[in-house]
Homo-oligomer: A and B are copies of this chain.
């Protein structure tokens, strides 16, 4: 097809190996020869055939990031970070969409795709510890997010239980008592939801609040529509909550919508909090309070670990790394002066329109 090493070699009047060395820097080449070769390369427009290089070297320079849905902004934002980090390390990152499909995840784990990528970063949702342990393919694997623990692979995630604690503590601190959790899947196959529910229950107990199963609403998936439906169903039962903790920001945004439709004011009647800190949550009405994982850290760490394994370096530190998170308070849980002092606080003077505290909501 294109221009190859042989063409360059002929043009420059040198051997194949010399051209390869110029391109590749494996062996030193004399200055005069190098220039002749470089000129030939520029004139003919040579670029190496990655397939052949792969065949010879055993590496492609390609790594994959597999996520359950491209349309979840959390993953899109993570992907942009990972792509630039990979580029900085000389790798190309390709995106894979598992669509939260078990077969797709399994295919990635030991399927044929493995032969063309040097390593895989996977956010598993439908497979568990056993499937990961049964993996036969040899290329390095880094897991991100929750769901699979105690496997001999690098694993980057936030502490979900602690994140839930932080969210509930915040809601309790602003005087909320009937706190709902939206997004607990009934099936046992999504461990992250279970971890977040566990944190929710523990934090309620720590605050001396009762655990009410009716306030925990399951969803099939973790999108806006799921959150909206779950909150609608919850409100239909009567006796509404005074706060909603969403499994993630998308679910929480769906909750905002359902609450607005039902005529509940946020945050006055119901406070809402999510997890992920997607950009969208800075523009909702009201803006969304959230637990913000350090996406930059997650993306960078995942790529760096993977590349280190690919290049065979001894990687220091534990396999599992928990990255930090922080609480970003926005309008959906009210401004500090609008907190419920107590369940029977007098004259809640909450302004009708809660203005953002920052002029630029890009990075509060």
The interface of chain A, by Cβ under 8 A from chain B, is 1-2, 45, 47-52, 54-55, 58, 60, 62, 69-71, 73, 76-77, 79-80, 83-84, 92, 94-95, 97, 99, 110-116, 136-138, 223-225, 228, 253-254, 256-257, 260-261, 263, 279-280, 282-285, 353, 355-356, 360-362
Contact = CB atoms under 8 A, between A and B. Distances in A.
Contact of A138 (B2, B71, B113, B261): B2
Contact of A112 (B50, B70, B79): B50
12 contacts: A2-B137, A48-B112, A49-B55, A51-B115, A69-B80, A70-B76, A84-B99, A224-B280, A225-B361, A228-B283, A261-B355, A280-B280
A47 B283 contact: no
Given A69-B80, A94-B95, A95-B94, A257 B283 contact: yes
A362 B225 contact: yes
B115 A47 contact: yes
A51 B51 contact: yes
A71 B60 contact: no
Nearest to A228: B283
A73 B279 CA distance: 11
Contact of A254 (B54, B69, B283): B283
A41 to B, nearest CB: 12
B77 A2 contact: no
Contacts of A116: 50-51, 60, 62
A138 B97 CA distance: 28
A73 to B, nearest CB: 6
Contacts of A113: 92
Given A70-B80, A138-B2, A55 B51 contact: yes
Contacts of A79: 70, 95, 97
A55 B53 CA distance: 9
Given A76-B76, A254-B283, A50 B263 contact: no
A115 B279 contact: no
A217 B79 CA distance: 31
Contact of A49 (B47, B84, B115, B228): B115
Contacts of A1: 58, 138
Contacts of A45: 110, 136
A47 to B, nearest CB: 4
A175 B338 CA distance: 39
Contacts of A92: 113
Contact of A260 (B137, B261, B285, B361): B285
Given A1-B138, A254-B283, A51 B54 contact: yes
Given A84-B99, A253-B283, 15 more contacts: A1-B58, A45-B136, A48-B112, A50-B51, A62-B116, A70-B95, A71-B80, A79-B95, A80-B97, A225-B360, A225-B361, A228-B283, A257-B285, A261-B353, A284-B284
